[in-house]
A and B are shown apart, each in its own frame.
Chain A
Amino acid sequence: MTTAPRPATPERPAGPDPDGREPILQVRNLVKHFPLTQGILFRKQVGAVQAVDGVSFDLYPGETLGIVGESGCGKSTVARLLMNLETPTSGEILYKGEDITRLSGRALKAVRRNIQMVFQDPYTSLNPRMTVGDIIGEPFEIHPEVAPKGDRRRRVQELLDVVGLNPEYINRYPHQFSGGQRQRIGIARGLALRPEVIVADEPVSALDVSVQAQVVNLMERLQDEFGLAYMFIAHDLSIVRHIADRVGVMYLGRIVELGADAAIYEHPTHPYTQALLSAVPVPNPEAREHRERIILAGDVPSPADPPSGCRFRTRCWKAQELCAEKDPPLTVPPVFRGTAGPTEHPSACHFAEEKQVVPPE
């Protein structure tokens, strides 16, 4: 295990499901490199942006897995891979045990029905020339078996009602709605085919705080109502804390720490997670003096030329020689194995240790 040159795929990277459920999605060693080319006539590859580089996790039915990380760390690329909008360079995405990266035609279509996406930008992700009814009903065109033609209008109105919009708005256009309302339209569309999984890429990041709460509450209610599993991507750690059951922290194309929400927020063992959490401003002026801030030096390195060994080492205050030589795998660090405590979760660090950075209230 210590000789692994690359982060080995942990047997159960997500840890055992407390209820013994089978995962609905299993992502294994997912890699997406975008080639960097030079020359116009003879395009030759001069390198690659390692957008996603060995990501593994499980998603269980009905749960919310939060994915956090800074801009460019690969969150959206993971989402696009799950949605089959990109082809992975390597790795597997198992939906109920079947590798969907190898499916095509009918079989793929059947799987895609069950995995739907909600996008970040409610201003650009909806076609401005289509009515709300057409937008929400569009998935029925691709999957007519879900709703026969005569039934569609009623179904769309039902969906509008479910997301808290007036069913009479069915003939309006996206520009007639506010940001929060447009995000509801996007969610209604995502729900149309009754999927089991919704991949939400920064679904509330573009919204104002007062509207953000409305959409988050809606998503939580729909999850309970329809038993949805969410992969909820956000750069806002507070939102993820609120909504997620489990959390994966990404850095430069990798998941560096993965665990239950309380494990990650209250017992982080990876230096990057600790720095990230300590940097979040807490809306409590009394906590100002008592908080320890970890201010990282420098910026995130280019994903086209990531550091050797541990990718975080250029900004890590604990980095040692070993960190440059050996890539730490995403497994439960040996010091925490068998402790049965909240620190016993996968963390890709040679020198993992617990550090509480968010002041408990």
Chain B
Amino acid sequence: MSTSGATDAVMAPEPEPPGGGEERPLLDVRNLHVEFRTREGIAKAVNGVNYSVHAGETLAVLGESGSGKSVTAQAVMGILDSPPGFITQGEVVFQGRDLLRMGGEERRKIRGARMAMIFQDALSSLNPVLSVGEQLGEMFRVHQGLSRKEARAKAIELMERVRIPAARERVKQYPHQFSGGMRQRVMIAMAMALEPELIIADEPTTALDVTVQAQVMDLLAELQREYNMGLILITHDLGVVADVADKIAVMYAGRIVESSPVHDIYRAPAHPYTRGLLDSIPRVDLKGQELYAIKGLPPNLLHIPPGCAFNPRCPRAQEVCRTDVPPLYRVNQERASACHFWKETLDDDSAPSGDA
């Protein structure tokens, strides 16, 4: 224990999420815990997530499938499937107020109007029996009390904003008549309709082809700049993160294991899992040698290993990792890492990371 980086780190059992400076974040998720009570047992899907995003900022939440990215987002949006899902601890502070302590009616008003979500699978999130125009218009009719005609005009305007060609004609069409990329634009239009302060986009381009993905990401980034929105971009693609994010939160087994401004993390990760991810992706700009492969598999959430959840797969694991859960150590003003040996990891440039 005395040789670990832990001893000289500033240890805070419940640290403020890093980043942001003085001003109040738009959204501040603190120590969020979510579990699913299923027949097989209790699946601990989210185990103390901390992240924050400011107006005009893009936070990327990165992690492999099952790491808890979507469940966290659902808890923030207030659309968690409950039961079986239960929020057991934590705060979701939006514009200074804890959403988890708000009444249902009040929350519903915030959802859609002040914060909106974009899903991966646009086809199943849109209503198949309503025309696109009706669905977009409904937002204005319900939230702003516009007439049918006014709402339709607004819908067309929105479709033009997200660059859907021939919006006037296509407003009458149904979701299945749109291509995947166009449907995702409709989803974006729907999320943008009431000009929310925060958008959570859950793998918005994962189902799309790479050229269409580029179109959609471009649009999203442009709209964000224009309206100075906070954007939480959930993804498993390190390339997308590097392209658009200001800061990044890496999730593993329901925890943020590292958070950092995007430039720093690619230069020098402070958590062995981040390090492993960066080394294991093939790159279009590098031919490279054998890929580094993280050994083993992500844990079963019914049986998360004691100590650090990553310890069975970690090349750096020591005895302490098998017994003590690493707190989120503050690496510097803007960075944090949940690793007993974050210092050693940060300083280590022996492995073939990036070759940059």
Binding site for B on A (CB under 8 A): 70-71, 178, 180, 208-214, 216-217, 220, 235, 237-239, 241-243, 261-262, 265, 275-288, 293, 295-296, 298-300, 358-361
Q: Are B288 and A279 in contact, with the CB atoms below 8 A?
A: no
Q: How far is the CB of A239 from chain B (nearest CB, A)?
A: 5
Give complex CA distance A279, B239 in Å. Answer: 11
- Interfacial chain B residues near A283, Cβ < 8 Å: 238-239, 241-242, 266, 278, 281, 283
Q: Specify the chain B residue showing the minimal Cβ separation from A70.
A: B209
7 cross-chain pairs, A with B, having the tightest CB-CB distances, nearest first: A281-B239, A242-B282, A279-B214, A213-B280, A70-B209, A213-B293, A210-B294
Q: Are B284 and A209 in contact, with the CB atoms below 8 A?
A: no
Central interface residue in B64, B236, B286, by most chain A CB within 10 Å: B286
Q: Are B290 and A217 in contact, with the CB atoms below 8 A?
A: yes
B212: interface (CB < 8 Å): yes
- Interfacial chain B residues near A217, Cβ < 8 Å: 290-291, 293
- Interfacial chain B residues near A239, Cβ < 8 Å: 282
Q: Specify the chain A residue showing the minimal Cβ separation from B64.
A: A208
Give complex CA distance A178, B218 in Å. Answer: 35
B260-297: contact bitstring with A at CB < 8 Å (1 yes, 0 no)? 00110010000000001110111111111011111101
Q: Are B243 and A288 in contact, with the CB atoms below 8 A?
A: yes
Give complex CA distance A242, B279 in Å. Answer: 13
Binding site for A on B (CB under 8 A): 64-65, 165, 179, 181-182, 209-215, 217-218, 236-243, 262-263, 266, 276-278, 280-288, 290-295, 297-298, 354-356
Sample of 10 further A-B pairs with CB below 8 A, known A178-B297, A243-B282, A261-B287: A210-B276, A211-B297, A214-B294, A216-B282, A242-B282, A242-B288, A281-B243, A285-B266, A288-B242, A295-B215
Q: How far is the CB of B120 from chain A (nearest CB, A)?
A: 15
Q: Are A299 and B181 in contact, with the CB atoms below 8 A?
A: yes
Give complex CA distance A283, B243 in Å. Answer: 7
Q: Are B281 and A209 in contact, with the CB atoms below 8 A?
A: yes
Partner of B283, one of A235, A238, A296: A238
28 A-B pairs in the complex with CB atoms less than 8 angstroms apart: A180-B297, A209-B277, A210-B298, A213-B281, A213-B282, A213-B291, A213-B294, A216-B282, A217-B293, A235-B210, A241-B286, A242-B282, A242-B291, A279-B213, A281-B243, A282-B239, A282-B284, A282-B285, A284-B266, A284-B285, A284-B356, A287-B242, A293-B214, A295-B218, A299-B182, A359-B285, A361-B285, A361-B356
Q: Are A295 and B214 in contact, with the CB atoms below 8 A?
A: yes
Give complex CA distance A261, B243 in Å. Answer: 24
Interface of A is mostly: helix
Q: Specify the chain A residue showing the minimal Cβ separation from B239.
A: A281
Q: Specify the chain A residue showing the minimal Cβ separation from B278.
A: A283
Q: Are A210 and B285 in contact, with the CB atoms below 8 A?
A: no
Q: Are B242 and A210 in contact, with the CB atoms below 8 A?
A: no
Give complex CA distance A295, B243 in Å. Answer: 14
Give complex CA distance A300, B208 in Å. Answer: 12
- Interfacial chain A residues near B213, Cβ < 8 Å: 279
Q: Specify the chain B residue showing the minimal Cβ separation from A243.
A: B282
Q: Are A209 and B242 in contact, with the CB atoms below 8 A?
A: no
Q: How far is the CB of B86 from chain A (nearest CB, A)?
A: 26
Q: Are B240 and A281 in contact, with the CB atoms below 8 A?
A: yes
- Interfacial chain B residues near A285, Cβ < 8 Å: 242-243, 262-263, 266
Partner of B211, one of A216, A243, A261, A279: A279
Partner of B355, one of A216, A358, A359, A361: A361
Give complex CA distance A227, B280 in Å. Answer: 25
Q: Specify the chain A residue showing the minimal Cβ separation from B165.
A: A298
Central interface residue in B64, B179, B181, B284, by most chain A CB within 10 Å: B284
Q: How far is the CB of B235 from chain A (nearest CB, A)?
A: 10
- Interfacial chain B residues near A360, Cβ < 8 Å: 285
Give complex CA distance A298, B214 in Å. Answer: 12
Give complex CA distance A237, B239 in Å. Answer: 12
- Interfacial chain B residues near A216, Cβ < 8 Å: 282, 291
